[in-house]
Structure 1
Amino acid sequence: MDQKRIYTIVAAVFAVTYGYNLFWFFRSLIEFSSFGFQFTFFIRYVPIFLGIAGLVIFISSQFKRSNLLRVIMCMEIMSFPFLAFWYIQFFTKTYGPLNQPAQLNWTFYVGCVINAALLFASIIGLRKLSFNKTAKLSFITYGAESTAQFFPASAGQRFVNRLVDGVMIIYILLINLESINISSGWGDDFQPEIILIIQIPFLILYYIILEGIFNTTAGKCATGTTIVNEQGQRPGFAQILGRTFSRIIPFEPFSFFRAGSRGWHDTLTNTYVVESVNQEDSGMDEITFDAEMQNA
């Protein structure tokens, strides 16, 4: 199956899913309008509206501009463990005042299909779109020889990467821990210690899955950057593990502010975060410098 057809199917799945979610959003909005503004209700729908915006950009650009949509794909993939745990709870617990098993109806089955379709579309779409990214290069020519150089991500881009990934991790935990009844993420009985305890193992899982399988994270999707090794290729899984566990070194998040904008998790594993372009557009973005002319 060619790339364009895959993107079309992925976009169609997201469009149907968002249409279904918008139906429930407006239905719930009408039902709960008498209760006034509900912060938790609206905050849950923020990713859906961002996803709709990302989907419109993706389709209107003929599948070339995918940054925002890939951010949402990262969130959908990393929310799956909590969703799976919720389903386990659903089938093993009883609900209601009479302690009766929850009733299975058409909305439940449709929701299952929607969640499964969205997960598979996110996995296929994120992997395809992220693997289509390649390092943006400049070529320095010395006579008949050319040397390729990366465009390293700036300190500002690295900061945005950290910020987006941090917000993504906290948002996923707050929303999903509440849904599986471990912690009320937004209410009066908010328990920050639970978030702190789970945050580090989830952070490790977040980077191993997204960088190890998809060679990206939500932050890198947002800034259009990617990870490469010294040869400009995707790093090996051992390097990804090294990057991941290096992140828990005290004060490591501030290490990329030094010269070169490389953090300890980069230098310890010989990896780089660089600006990226789509593979089909790589030739258009390559910049060549003639060293002999510059030295003339």
Structure 2
Amino acid sequence: MQEDNFLVTPDLYAGKEKRFINLIVDTIGYYIFSFIVGLFLGVLELIGLSGALDFIANMGVLGSLVFGVVVVTIYFCGFEVPTQRTLGKFITKTMVVMEDGTKPTFQDILIRSLCRFIPFEAFSFLGSEGRGWHDSMSNTYVVDIEKFKAKKESQNELDQIGVPQDID
């Protein structure tokens, strides 16, 4: 399928309601993920490998902040790099794409994930388009999957008009 002339347009964007649900579900998701990381470190402590837990306990406020950023970034990258979706996006049937409809690279998702830590980033959705800074700074879009697939299929069919078909 050609991607050359496909363009993500505002009619494909996930609505603000879905984006809000994504925020809530993913917040719960990364708290659960953080809890699992803590459980894993606790198990390591129980089997006698206390170095990691001691390191975390002694890292101070800045170290704890950095550790939290790393855990949240792993949550978002761990989901969005392979699937283009997080837990919230699975529930709302949305996904992350580039402007031409292609899958974002690891770098795109990493930038997107790190931009979430910009102060007041959550308020960036209040604009008319409903795209947050983590979307615009990474040049990514969160789209409604059904609308996206329908437009891609229509575009592909239009691209096939006039193209000779092989008849077997």
TM range (shorter): 0.5 to 0.7
Q: Of the two, which has the highest radius of gyration?
A: 1
Matched, 1:271 2:146: no
Counterpart amino acid of 2:71?
F
After superposition, the C-alpha distances for 1:253-289 in whole angstroms (9 at most, x for unaligned) are: 221122111000111122110100399x748x96xxx
Higher relative contact order (CA 8 A, sep 6+): 2
After superposition, the C-alpha distances for 1:210-238 in whole angstroms (9 at most, x for unaligned) are: 11222111111111001111112212232
Q: Whole-Å Cα distance in 2 between the matches of residues 177 and 198 of structure 1?
A: 12
The alpha-carbon distance between structure 1 residues 179 and 234, as it changes in their structure 2 partners (threshold 3 A), is closer
After superposition, the C-alpha distances for 1:179-238 in whole angstroms (9 at most, x for unaligned) are: 5428xxxxxxxx9x8986643211111122211222111111111001111112212232
The alpha-carbon distance between structure 1 residues 148 and 251, as it changes in their structure 2 partners (threshold 3 A), is closer
Say which structure is richer in strand: 1
Q: Structure 1 length normalisation: TM-score?
A: 0.38
Aligned residue among 190, 195, 200 for 2:69: 200
The alpha-carbon distance between structure 1 residues 229 and 251, as it changes in their structure 2 partners (threshold 3 A), is same
Counterpart amino acid of 1:231?
D
Matched, 1:169 2:30: yes
The alpha-carbon distance between structure 1 residues 204 and 151, as it changes in their structure 2 partners (threshold 3 A), is same
Aligned position for 1:155 = 16
Q: Whole-Å Cα distance in 2 between the matches of residues 270 and 221 of structure 1?
A: 21
1:85-100 correspondence runs (5 A): none
Aligned residue among 181, 187, 198 for 2:42: 181
Aligned residue among 76, 81, 88 for 1:212: 81
1:115-134 correspondence runs (5 A): none
Counterpart amino acid of 2:128?
A
Q: Whole-Å Cα distance in 2 between the matches of residues 261 and 233 of structure 1?
A: 21
Q: Whole-Å Cα distance in 1 between the matches of residues 70 and 100 of structure 2?
A: 31
After superposition, the C-alpha distances for 1:128-185 in whole angstroms (9 at most, x for unaligned) are: xxxxxxxxxxxxxxxxxx9874421111111111111110111222244145428xxx
Note the aligned Cα RMSD (angstroms).
3.3
1:234-273 correspondence runs (5 A): 234-273=103-142
Identity %: 32
Aligned residues: 130
In the alignment, is the contact (CA less than 8 A) between 2:33 and 2:75 conserved in 1?
no
The alpha-carbon distance between structure 1 residues 276 and 197, as it changes in their structure 2 partners (threshold 3 A), is same
What stretches of structure 1 of length at least 5 have no aligned partner? Answer: 1-145, 183-190, 287-296
The alpha-carbon distance between structure 1 residues 244 and 175, as it changes in their structure 2 partners (threshold 3 A), is closer
Matched, 1:230 2:91: no
After superposition, the C-alpha distances for 1:59-92 in whole angstroms (9 at most, x for unaligned) are: xxxxxxxxxxxxxxxxxxxxxxxxxxxxxxxxxx
In the alignment, is the contact (CA less than 8 A) between 2:99 and 2:141 conserved in 1?
yes
The alpha-carbon distance between structure 1 residues 172 and 206, as it changes in their structure 2 partners (threshold 3 A), is closer
Q: Whole-Å Cα distance in 1 between the matches of residues 107 and 75 of structure 2?
A: 16
Aligned position for 1:83 = none
Deviation at 1:242, TM superposition (A): 1.5
Counterpart amino acid of 1:253?
A
Determine helix, strand or coil for the equivalent of 2:42: coil
